[in-house]
Amino acid sequence: MSSTATRRVRLLYFAWVREKIGCSEESVDLPGSIATVADLVDWLKARGPQYGDAFARPQVVRAALDRVHVKPSSPLGAAREIAFFPPVTGG
Amino acid sequence: MAVRVQSENFDIAAEIEKLLGSRTDVGAVVTFTGRVRGHDDGQPIATLTLEHYPDMTEAEMERIEAEAQARWALQASLVVHRVGELKAGEQIVLVITAAAHRQAAFEAAGFLMDYLKTRAPFWKKETTTAGESGWVEARDKDDAAAKRWS
């Protein structure tokens, strides 16, 4: 796989992650070098201060790939929809 | 066996009737209802606004329900979770479990609530009676409660 190829994915943000970033969803072209959820977080943090604010404590922000909970070390694989959100507080 | 996300209120008795009808094999029905508390750490709360992740919410609730069915001999179950703005005293969540005997129904209802609170993608924003609002933080004791099942 070439590290120069990009892949378009849909990013979704919820609750205070959404408020800090300032939008609920966006499409981005991910560089092929972004392999894991943690890589993606680092890449997003470099995009602007609002991302730096949202991911200031990256261990607090949770992620889901194609609507399934994952860990920061999880590979992105072929996921099309990647969501970031605070720890859940339903029930 | 069903899960639902809705903004409207629910009627517990009507939900039990719909779920079980005239079945005669069910010996135990447990229901849990979560309601909006009017106070949080001494702060008077006027409303809770529940946000969720449409599509993942239902998928995760179905995974949690399937896990409960795999662990206990349930004859029927239902999970209803409301979203949107809810006032203090309003109902938020309903869990119904039905089994031949009470132990499975009690335990499965506890499991469903513990897993809902730690895995289903809902977030609560509370607004005080003074008009100040903020996101409710996840509680460590909810994680501890969920871990007792693993």
Nearest C-alpha neighbor of A33 from the set A25, A42, A23: A42
Does residue A91 lie within any of the structural domains?
no
Q: Is B118 part of the contact surface with chain A (CB cutoff 8 Å)?
A: yes
Reported confidence tier of residue A4, pLDDT bands at 50, 70, 90: low
Least confident of A2-16, A20-34, A36-50, B85-99: A2-16
Q: State which residues form the domain around A38.
A: 6-85
The vertex-B140 CA angle with B115 and B113, nearest 5°, equals 20
Under 8 Å CB-to-CB from B66, ≥6 apart: which residues?
A: none
Residue from A11, A62, A89 to probe the interface with B (highest B Cβ count within 10 Å): A89
Q: Look up tokens 């109902």; give the residue.
A: B91
Q: State which residues form the domain around B137.
A: 2-147
pLDDT tens-digit profile of B15-34?
A: 999 999 999 999 999 999 99
Nearest C-alpha neighbor of A69 from the set B25, B111, B106, B121: B121
Does residue A16 lie within any of the structural domains?
yes
Domains in chain A, number: 1
Residues of B in contact with A68 (CB under 8 A): 56, 59
Residue A31 CA to residue A12 CA, distance in Å, equals: 18
Q: Which helix (H) or strand (E) holds B34?
A: strand B28-35
User: ipTM exceeding 0.85?
Assistant: yes
Reported confidence tier of residue B147, pLDDT bands at 50, 70, 90: very high
Domains in chain B, number: 1
Selecting from A12, A16, A91 the residue whose C-beta is nearest the C-beta of B34 gives A91
